[in-house]
Structure 1
Amino acid sequence: MADKKAAEASATVTFVDKTYDQRPLYLATGRELVVRRGRITVPADDAEALAYLASDNGLQQLQPLQDE
């Protein structure tokens, strides 16, 4: 049970920037997210960041690897 909670707490979502290697992104609240090395990773429970990143056509969400 503890392992499951730890995995959920550390779950992340990664997006690839199809245009820029590095750039700042600003949410409507003024919060800054930064693309580095063409990628940006945010916590899976960060709804505000996920909604913003998913709406940007220049970003593509990476699919997580499936456990075998």
Structure 2
Amino acid sequence: MSKPRTGTDRAATDVNPLQPTHTESPTTIGPARVFRDTLYTSRTLIMPDGRTVPVIAGQVTACGDDQYAFLKAHPDMQQLTE
């Protein structure tokens, strides 16, 4: 046997928790900047600020401008062109 709904129960169930609460326009993401490691197929690079950048299957993707600059300056990294 179920309990009848009251007005407050109905109002709580009408809210959709999966809807976004803000309406900011998404920022555009540029093309992925992938580098090939010329020495290793697997390793972890450590940036000067302490963040890590994993090399997997001989490749690494720069996720931001700071990672791109770090990988571009690294002597063992070669940027792949698509």
* Range into which the TM-score falls when normalised by the shorter chain: 0.7 to 0.9
Task: Kindly report which structure 2 residues correspond to 1:1-68, keeping only aligned pairs within 5 A, or say none.
Answer: 8-9=28-29, 11-43=31-63, 46-64=64-82
Distance 1:19 1:47 in 2: 23
Alpha-carbon shift at residue 29 of structure 1 (Å): 0.7
TM-score (norm 1): 0.73
Alpha-carbon shift at residue 10 of structure 1 (Å): 5.8
Task: Give the alignment's Cα RMSD to 1 decimal.
Answer: 1.8
Moved over 4 A (4+): none
Gapped runs of 5+ residues in structure 2? Answer: 1-25
Distance 1:58 1:10 in 2: 24
- Structure with larger Rg: 2
Size of the aligned set, in residue pairs, is 57
Amino acid at match of 2:34: T
Distance 2:69 2:61 in 1: 13
Structure with the higher fraction of residues in helix conformation: 1
Gapped runs of 5+ residues in structure 1? Answer: none
Aligned-partner SS, 1:52: helix
Structure with the higher fraction of residues in strand conformation: 1
TM-score (norm 2): 0.62
